[in-house]
Structure 1
């Protein structure tokens, strides 16, 4: 898995029968690849050529992680049924135009290099069936975090935040909430040359700008009802710049962006599952102590927990979800939830590149 935050690749070895991770490797993207993937989120020159080269580079980065993972766990390639590979999202437009989503990855090259059957392009079939293609993790969250007789919410804090609503009666909902880390990461990179705001420390030095926060929260997409999904197509620094005023201190903007991320989640949870008493957070944002504390403050009566407290470290959940989806493909079982994505029905997700 490599997500909207563009921090690199997480690979897990996943036991589908036990629903357990038995190995994990993280490898950051090279600066050059990260910069190119970020650039490809926006229109530019020679995009087809550049995207093809980037897809090859992503495949090689994935293959390196697979090799490291198998070596670290002492696992022969022949014991791995399939490799579920998300690819790198550079465009996500399920609603506009003719509806499409683009995850850069050369699946054939990955199969050639990894020597394992590759299942990739996991979002397109849901979009073809009229769905958003995202989020796809709620079905997995139900499998690992669902609790009989309890309303539980699971939250992924990547570049974008998305909620899974695991209702006590067995129903599962889910949708994207808004920006989680993508704006905060971009802002601190511009002003301090850092990849992310560790523990929200820089944001903690600033004050929330109420006028800016109101302008950010006025984004019409935030008021849309589910099903809905989003990405860097909407939430990027250009979107933020249109709402800034002269004289705003960078640290105050950062504090406001953290508040925006927390408010998007809290407002969405109150609207869609007001009876929730447990929120299980994963993704890189779950390591941001300031963000987690703000979520807890905005959600009185809700126990805000890390997924690590449920036995699954925050940086392994999404990769495990796509391994689980690959297993669903192998078993020819549906991977999407039409109630979440809005698709016309259950679909087997992915395309197979045999080893």
Structure 2
């Protein structure tokens, strides 16, 4: 469906809502990135969301409802800012694909569920744009993990006819897409899963010890040494050892999880812990790539962690002879990959096309993802008019 689509996502780092404008021309399957915008959250909102996702304090229903609206307003502010920067009127946008903010993701039986907030009706009303949201639960209703969600987009934008690629998104959690040469969306060889922590543990550890949001370029980690005992304890975790399909989040990999592993080994200098966490991320990713069927020729990195120079160095060393590069080198900016994926998923939903990849999530079938929320509440009327 030709036209403009907006994609919105806030990841586990909660540093900003990433917002993109995609333009689909209708004559190919690769929409073009037309504009981008980063919208930081209000400081108090970010702090509370971090507390909820990291330490799991009690939260009552009233506060949950208020946070749902506040997240929607934060994201609406970002969408409106993007449109103001581009001069494109809301009426020219076919849809916004909003991932929202994940508060909890638990795909395990007997009662798997996932919870993202950011009221899509509020987002639609504030922006005047039809909003597609709540993407994950349709896949989970079909028996899937509900994550990772971007693998189909990775295939559409980055599959290569003559080389096997692996796409690694390094956000708070890292995820992998294995792209066999010539893979199509219906290709059962297309696989992927959450590999484990990306930036989440490194960010949390440096926040505790240095009151900083992140270890820029791995500079603090560079001052430490890998502690093999701690690294072995981290790698022995049941999630890391489990086979796909699998997905995870901060509700699993958080400071409490790390503290329990630290209790199993002698006292370690904080910088050595940071260096070990970087090595843990690098090895869990490289081991996941090694599990891709066939020989991987190229590894494409995206997400905030792709800019960590020390982490890239370790991945290049561990993944040799595969060539490690940013997705920028293949035509999709690394910083905007995930937001673009949700704009693409919104386009698929409006077209009545499935957005999940059953061979990735473990769903029983391909399904159309998300609910459609029009500004006037008349989603079906708007779609039929189109």
Taking structure 2 as the reference length, what is the TM-score of the superposition? 0.90
Show the 5 A alignment for 1:66-77: 66-77=79-90
Kindly tell me the number of residue pairs found equivalent between the two proteins.
355
**How much does 1:315 deviate?**
1.2
Q: From 267, 287, 290, give the equivalent of 1:267.
A: 287
Note if contact 2:159-2:182 (Cα within 8 Å) is conserved in structure 1: no
CA drift of 1:58 comes to 0.9
Q: Does 1:50 align with 2:63?
A: yes
Matches within 5 A, 1:83-232: 83-170=96-183, 171-232=189-250
8 A contact 1:90–1:103 mirrored in 2: yes
Partner of 2:357: 337
- Does the Cα contact within 8 Å between 1:36 and 1:54 map onto a contact in 2? no
Maintained 8 Å contact 2:170/2:303:
yes
RMSD: 1.2
Tell which deviates more after alignment, 254-263 or 35-44.
Answer: 35-44
Name the CA distance, whole Å, in 2 between partners of 1:314 and 1:187: 24
**Bigger mean CA deviation after superposition, 322-331 or 305-314:** 305-314
Secondary structure class of the residue paired with 2:193: strand
Aligned to 2:3: none
Aligned counterparts of 2:24 and 2:255: Cα–Cα separation in 1: 39
Task: Give the Cα–Cα distance (whole angstroms) in 2 for the partners of residues 4 and 164 of structure 1.
Answer: 19
SS of 2:94's equivalent in the other structure is: coil
Task: In structure 1, list runs of 5 or more residues that go unmatched.
Answer: none
1:8-27 matches, cutoff 5 A: 8-17=16-25, 18-27=30-39
Contact kept? 1:139, 1:336, Cα under 8 Å:
yes
SS in 1 for 2:178: strand
Partner of 1:2: 10
Superposition map of 1:26-37 within 5 A: 26-37=38-49
- In the alignment, structure 2 segments of 5+ residues that lack a partner are 1-8, 184-188, 376-386
| Structure 1 residue 94, shift from structure 2 partner | 1.1
Residue 45 of structure 1 deviates from its aligned partner by 2.6
Match of 2:94 in 1: 81
Q: Higher mean Cα deviation, 91-100 or 132-141?
A: 91-100
- Say if 2:42 and 2:74, in contact at 8 Å, map to a contact too: no
Moved more, 51-60 or 185-194: 51-60
1: CA distance between counterparts of 2:289 and 2:153?
A: 19
Once residues 43 and 280 of structure 1 are traced to their aligned partners in structure 2, the CA distance between those partners, rounded to angstroms, is 34
Matched, 1:306 2:326: yes
Q: Residue 40 of structure 1 contacts residue 47 of structure 1 at CA under 8 Å; is this kept in 2? A: no
Aligned partner of residue 98 in structure 1, secondary structure: coil
Runs of 4+ that moved beyond 6 A? none
> Which whole-Å CA distance do the structure 2 matches of 1:271 and 1:144 have between them?
22
* TM-score after normalising by structure 1: 0.98
What do the CA deviations read for 1:152-199 (whole angstroms, capped 9, x no partner)?
111100000000011125231111100000000000011111110100
Give the superposition deviation at 1:274.
5.3
Aligned mates of 2:87, 2:266 — CA distance in 1: 57
CA distance in 2, matches of 1:137, 1:173: 11
